[in-house]
Structure 1
């Protein structure tokens, strides 16, 4: 290669070596099971991914299509109506009042999870560690990896809550943040958010609470970490699950004044903007609680039906979750159980190893398909 080619950044041939190689996306590993289902059944009932299939309210669709906001760049921090609607929703539903200056919009919650460690490393270059639940949504770990940070899992204690006392003091000193998730994905557990907030303040570690399933809390009322004050904590919310708007990509975060202000400013520079029509749809969705109650009833019924059917089919107990819309079933071998469920029920579910090594003895069943699809699986399994 000539010096001119080097200076111009030209590439002649050969692959880049030594860089980050993305691992296989977990759900792409289920293609073989999908093919296996179609050898025996006329359709795949996909219960592997927590993507909503039920319709959003008509008023939300109308707001999405008639706002006229597609013409201009939307504010990255969120439109005033969106921030006001988020504030009103938190006050109405969870009895916490957070000023709109302490709320910011996100392009759904997944991008927030994935990008947050990178932004926090810019804020605190002396720290390099992300603490997250050992059985959890894969993006907590991947967000750390993409930021070049250490991903350190926190185990659960015998009570099913995060064992905060097990965190190594050196990891705490190096921590950019601690993720908590309640109700949890995939386990459905309800964590002690007050204890997490207290631990974070004592350790000087920001605590980010992923609360996207808060509306689907089955044991008691929904709880937010913001009940325990905003100092050092940020709650992350999503319209994807609550209002069946996963394809619209809109959510928000709220909490600690300094952290939220920093994130609002840095996200402006990164060009992270929720499209204007999506923000208008979110306002309509946040202002309406009736459709959420309808969705709660759907998910609760599907959880009970599939739990009963899988118990009868497998001959083992299936614990109902404390929250969320997943069944988290202990099994001898996750892949073997998923394969048998595919063969007998035509259902595609996720082996627990997708959610960390500690989940390898489980499968996750997402009860997201419409009632008629859930009924097809139930009928197939009941016939066995």
Structure 2
């Protein structure tokens, strides 16, 4: 891989990357374009916290990869730097129960994790609220991917506890931002009436980026992440075209990184269109990989069974799932519903002669990439 610098080949100690971290999914850019109005709406909701009052509750909705999480992280970072407001972002894909949500809040408030067993929710909640009152702190909680709390039927209980904190503990000031990428989920309508009566959130919508916005964002990311001259205009256009096709900016950011790695594999100083096209074969599954990472063992087992029994009747799928997990039909049905809501499977009801209505289940992806990611 050594070569004359003039021939466009990288030497061993060279890289096409100026800063590879720029292409990580959790990277928060210094300048955040094309989301000015959404950021202003979120600032409006959070501004009371800076004055020592409860922030306004907010629902943030929009398709995946439209800047929702980045916006919240950016504003939370500013709040922490400029005020005494305590901010906590909970990833509900990982922490999908009320207890898990409050354990994450506890960890932020006390800087250590609560005991893994032996502490009731009431005590956990009480210690958090007491500390907030004692320190006279305002707490802003972002429930990121709150749709996962709904899938587990935990959303109403978690929100009720957060929103009623000031009633159980006078002086506790808590505001909630619910972030959802599931456009079929109506966050407010799906909550219990007891929660609806106190929630009354502001709503902020994040639409998909248009092609020009995608090009602008990816160009800036490429300029920060790659050395000069690594990514040409034609290659950037190809990345933008594939990103727009997927509808998810995260695909484009991952695509830039993988295309850079492909160029390095060839010991090349520049990215080619072929590097981009080859990278897309993996980058297009960013959403699939992310969804699979958040599944429990039994949920992953059903996805694997569906991949292995692709195209077979629902009955044989259930039998294979039961054999693998020893779980009954009720739990099987619950998992199917969750996978359907996540967009991992597609379900359809049809009339079957002599049997009435029967549900067919199929993967929303080709079996091969699904099994690769489960087994990998």
Higher helix share: 2
| Higher radius of gyration, 1 or 2 | 2
Task: Report which structure shows greater RCO (CA 8 Å, sep ≥6).
Answer: 1
- Quickly name the TM-score band, shorter chain normalised: 0.3 to 0.5
Q: TM-score, normalised by structure 1?
A: 0.32
